[in-house]
């Protein structure tokens, strides 16, 4: 087990500036295979529900998300428009349409979403996190189960925990329930449906 964890740390250090702390009964081969498969899924969509909390305020919203390569189209639809937003663009720049009909363009979505909507989301990393893998950059912690699935992760000040996974075919699975936390912001996501849109990811 020690040799396995050491190998995993060395592997991750080759991809990251600093190697993360690894916990759990990590299976190196399963983790490698899972990452390779997930990264092939470049075009996908999901439907689900989100519970968003920022300080003492909270909202529930339905989620419709379409990801085509780096381009995302993400819609949060809350009751009576509360907490609603449509976010479209790439990790470098997004356009946001609020539930009040206001539209703005930003190259710093985390900061601007907080000021405009009262809550924020890790837009650059979320397309990776919702699939159960780290985004680009340094990772502080990875907790992986014996099947090579991510259970907990720390990246860019956010903590991400995975509750359950949804089997798609065979033993291949994508997250069903996860929670993202940073400061007083908490986003709980429950995915009701995954669709893999590119052929390589649907095999």
> Each residue of 53-94: pLDDT tens digit?
988 888 899 999 999 999 999 998 877 556 678 999 998 899
Residue where the block lists tokens 């992986």? 144
Q: Which residues of 57-77 are buried (b: 16+ CB within 10 A; e: fewer)?
A: eebebebebbbeeeebebbbb
Amino acid 13: pLDDT:
41
What is the percentage of the chain residues whose pLDDT exceeds 70? 83
Q: What is the pTM of this model?
A: 0.82
Please state, rounded to an integer, the average pLDDT across all residues of the chain: 83
End-to-end CA separation in angstroms for the chain? 31
CA distances from 117 to 53, 63, 114 (A): 12, 16, 5
| C-alpha dihedral (159, 21, 108, 69), degrees to nearest 10 | -100
Helix or strand holding residue 8 (H, E): helix 2-15
pLDDT band at 179 (very low <50, low <70, confident <90, very high): very high
Distance from C-alpha of 87 to C-alpha of 126, rounded to nearest angstrom: 12
């Amino acid at each position: 087990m020690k040799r396995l964890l050491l190998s995993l740390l060395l592997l991750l250090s080759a991809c990251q500036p600093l190697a993360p702390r690894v916990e759990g009964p990590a299976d190196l081969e399963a983790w490698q295979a899972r990452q390779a498969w997930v990264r092939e899924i470049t075009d996908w969509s999901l439907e689900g529900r989100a519970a968003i909390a920022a300080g003492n305020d909270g909202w529930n919203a339905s989620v419709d998300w379409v990801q085509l390569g780096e381009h995302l189209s993400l819609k949060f639809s809350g009751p009576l428009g509360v907490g609603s937003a449509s976010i479209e663009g790439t990790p470098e720049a997004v356009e946001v349409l609020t539930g009040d009909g206001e539209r703005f363009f930003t190259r710093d979505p985390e900061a601007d979403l907080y000021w405009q909507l009262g809550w924020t989301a890790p837009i650059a990393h979320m397309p990776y996190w919702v699939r159960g893998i780290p985004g680009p950059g340094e990772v502080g912690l990875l907790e992986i189960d014996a099947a090579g699935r991510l259970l907990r992760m720390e990246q860019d000040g956010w903590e991400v925990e995975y509750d359950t996974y949804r089997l798609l075919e065979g033993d291949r699975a994508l997250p069903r329930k996860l929670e993202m936390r940073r400061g007083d912001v908490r986003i709980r996501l429950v995915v009701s449906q995954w669709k893999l849109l590119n052929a390589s990811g649907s095999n």
